[in-house]
Amino acid sequence: MSYAVEAQGVAFPYLMIQMYRSGEASGSMDKTALIMADQYTKDHRIKGKKKSAMTYPIILIIVTILVLLIVYLMVLPSFFDIFKNVDLPLITQINIGISHFIQDYWYYLILIFAFLIVGFMAALKIKKVRFKVDKLKNKTPLFGKLMITIYTSRFARILCSLYTSGMSIVNALNIAKTTIGNVYIESQFDSAIKKI
């Protein structure tokens, strides 16, 4: 069964293949299938909670950007004629300058923004950068604790599932750490596994 599933390429997760393999070796495929069903149900529920927790800040950021664009592209330009011959405070001058810059060079801003996103996504593929970003994620106020809780609960459930299906503790730890989704935490488990 595990070899048939593995032959499908990336269609099935690595964890599922290893659990099937473990179930075959211990002769408890029925138990392993039930554990996996429970595991993936809980994973789906946690992903839903994670998405809903991230929705509010994302909406807040988008609304803030839209409000700033409205201010700089519509509200401030309507006052340009009034402010023409007036000696303005520095902050007002800066805001008017930003408004002029956005109006005149908006296409450059879109290009810069696109390059930043593409560059960030490409940088995440570099292991050292991903390590630092994942480490920073854990230290982010509010979300850091939430992410650590999600990672810990996922790791504990998967480790329990693998060990219950008959896998040795070292193999179970090595597979469970790859499902965490955080390179920094994975590295912490690497050093812990070496001591077992």
The pLDDT assigned to 76 comes to 87
In this prediction, residue 22 carries a pLDDT of 75
Q: Where are the domains of the chain?
A: 2-57+124-194
- Residue 83 CA, distance from chain mean position: 46
pLDDT at 70: 92
Which helix (H) or strand (E) segment holds residue 168: the answer is none
Predicted local distance difference test score (pLDDT) of residue 2: 67
DSSP string, 98-157: HHHHHHHHHHHHHHHHHHHHHHHHHHTTSHHHHHHHHHHHHHSTTHHHHHHHHHHHHHHH
pLDDT by residue, tens only, the chain of 196 residues? 666 777 777 777 777 777 777 777 767 777 778 887 887 888 788 778 778 877 888 899 999 999 999 999 889 888 888 877 788 888 988 988 999 999 888 889 899 999 999 999 999 889 899 999 988 888 888 778 888 888 888 888 888 878 887 778 888 888 888 878 888 888 888 877 777 7
pLDDT at residue number 6? 73
The Cα–Cα gap between 21 and 167 comes to 9
